[in-house]
Structure 1
Amino acid sequence: MTEAILEIQHGVKTISNGLDESKVIMNDLNLTIRSGDFITVLGGNGAGKSTLFNSIAGSLSLTKGKVLLKGQDISNKKEEERAKFISRVFQDPKMGTAPRMTVAENLLLAMYRGQKRQFKKRPLAQNRQEFQALCQLIGNGLEQHLDTPAGNLSGGQRQALSLLMATITKPELLLLDEHTAALDPKTSRSLMKLTDQRIQDNHLTCLMITHRMEDALTYGNRLIVLQKGQIKVDLAKEEKEKLTLQDLLLFFEEE
């Protein structure tokens, strides 16, 4: 059987509402992500999608349960420590890049993610050709903006840059947090094609939250549907390929 990259075992997260009451936002959730999985994640508002991603990334600690990375318990590791192994692209294009740094500087920063910081000359020149070739993959002219501050890019270009930064060194797990949601339909389709290409070409393991049901059906080898902090549906590729959009809608009507 393929190696388990990440596991959540009996994950529980409760939060206090300030009135001596607590709310369960993850309810005994169990998930195993195996090497090479590209899992699309669906769920309505309050289903627990953000809680799941934050628990994996380390920005939220579980109340009970464990998070294992390749069998090692990382439940108590901070977000910065997990960032060596886990990359994340957020919904907001502004969150994945440093706005005052150029495209090339952002890519260089991403190349050294998780490595010990040292005072040394930035090797921008020798990496420029590689960065240019990487940006050409996108097809939106980003390669012409290597010296442009990221804050001056369009939303689509900035989100594509975020994706390149997240995958420039192969992470153990890539988290895509509704990364096309803020884009117009044409740009969203283009970014999804690039996303799929990066995942396939680099043999990445990925978990992708999406609100676009067509993307959930089109991409990935597995589909999970969250409801009330639990995994309600977990479909392998063969089962997923038999689904229609109407079938997916039925999962939500039953909530």
Structure 2
Amino acid sequence: MSTVLELKHATKRIDNGLNETKIILNNVNLTIEKGEFVTVLGGNGAGKSTLFNSIAGTLSLSEGDLFINQQKITNYSEEKRATFFSRVFQDPKMGTAPRMTVAENLLLAMYRGQKRSLRLRKISEQRTFFTKICSEVGNGLENHLDTPTGNLSGGQRQALSLLMATLTKPELLLLDEHTAALDPKTSKQLMHLTDQRIKEADLTCLMITHRMEDALEYGNRLIVLQKGRIIKDLNKSEKEKLTLQDLLLFFEEEAELSVD
């Protein structure tokens, strides 16, 4: 296996005013190998979003370095890092262009990371392909290729975001609580699609989830964050031995530590 992502001593500090400094990512060392599907758990303020924002370049690290395929990208801008990473956010509105149609959004995703130039759109040439991949979603998205994305339901829009993020194979797929805003049925459908897309394309993925059932069912590795540190890192066999009660017990212990 080859290493896709490596964080070395990743630390993020912020000033809270009155000469107070808060550490929200604390000396994190993390290595992600090609083909790993890593689920990320942690309570509020554990550092999950900070970890993703530091990887994507939305936040810069205070200390430490970030490597993709052994290439140091610590000082790369968010735009430059977008050639390596695809991200699906919690908010369905964030991953798509609302005034563009479903087909136009998918066409835009096909050219992710490529140099921009004036060219014919050629949507008609891709229509059969777009219909095929949208029909795999199972929520009628294939019937809305000419519908502005802003008119879709939240579930359809989030499914489209996932298709766009995986249309061209990213080095690393970042799923940032991408089912959190959906109802249970739609969430279950989207997770099934997520697992299917990851397995079919042999993608490498980091997925933040607040649904502990999904953390147990999906992925081949589990990490748990607490106060900006990785306190558990379980491989596939260790993860398979976990129960929902084990995870619930962990969060109970975390709450007790916070009170103390």
- Corresponding position of 2:21: 22
CA distance in 2, matches of 1:144, 1:221: 34
CA distance in 2, matches of 1:130, 1:163: 16
Task: Please list the CA deviations of residues 221-243 of structure 1 after superposition, one character each: whole Å capped at 9, or x if unmatched.
Answer: 00000000000100001000000
* Deviation, structure 1 residue 101: 0.0
Give TM-score, length-normalised by structure 1: 0.99
CA distance in 2, matches of 1:186, 1:251: 27
SS in 2 for 1:29: strand
1:53 and 2:52 correspond: yes
- Corresponding position of 2:108: 109
1:130 and 2:129 correspond: yes
- Corresponding position of 1:198: 197
1:223 and 2:222 correspond: yes
Amino acid in structure 2 at the alignment position of 1:230: R
* Deviation, structure 1 residue 216: 0.1
* Deviation, structure 1 residue 250: 1.7
Task: Please list the CA deviations of residues 148-183 of structure 1 after superposition, one character each: whole Å capped at 9, or x if unmatched.
Answer: 000000000000000000000000000000000000
SS in 2 for 1:66: strand
- Corresponding position of 1:88: 87
Q: 17-26 or 173-182: which moved more?
A: 17-26
Amino acid in structure 2 at the alignment position of 1:160: A
CA distance in 2, matches of 1:102, 1:19: 49
Task: Please list the CA deviations of residues 189-234 of structure 1 after superposition, one character each: whole Å capped at 9, or x if unmatched.
Answer: 0000000000000000000000000000000000000000000100
CA distance in 2, matches of 1:24, 1:253: 23
CA distance in 2, matches of 1:28, 1:248: 24
CA distance in 1, matches of 2:18, 2:44: 23
SS in 2 for 1:14: strand
- Corresponding position of 1:41: 40
Amino acid in structure 1 at the alignment position of 2:145: L
SS in 1 for 2:38: strand
Q: Quote the sequence identity (%).
A: 73
Amino acid in structure 1 at the alignment position of 2:89: F
Matches within 5 A, 1:152-191: 152-191=151-190
1:10 and 2:2 correspond: no
* Alignment coverage as a number of residue pairs: 254
Task: Please list the CA deviations of residues 12-48 of structure 1 after superposition, one character each: whole Å capped at 9, or x if unmatched.
Answer: 1000012211100011001001000000000000000
- Corresponding position of 1:243: 242
* Deviation, structure 1 residue 254: 2.0
CA distance in 2, matches of 1:230, 1:140: 38
CA distance in 2, matches of 1:199, 1:79: 23
Q: Could you list the runs of 5+ residues in structure 2 that have no partner in the other structure?
A: 255-260
CA distance in 2, matches of 1:159, 1:109: 16
Q: CA RMSD in A?
A: 0.5
Q: Could you list the runs of 5+ residues in structure 1 that have no partner in the other structure?
A: none
Runs of 4+ in 1 over 6 A off after TM superposition: none
Task: Please list the CA deviations of residues 57-80 of structure 1 after superposition, one character each: whole Å capped at 9, or x if unmatched.
Answer: 010110000000011110000111
* Deviation, structure 1 residue 121: 1.0
Task: Please list the CA deviations of residues 99-124 of structure 1 after superposition, one character each: whole Å capped at 9, or x if unmatched.
Answer: 00000000000000111110111111
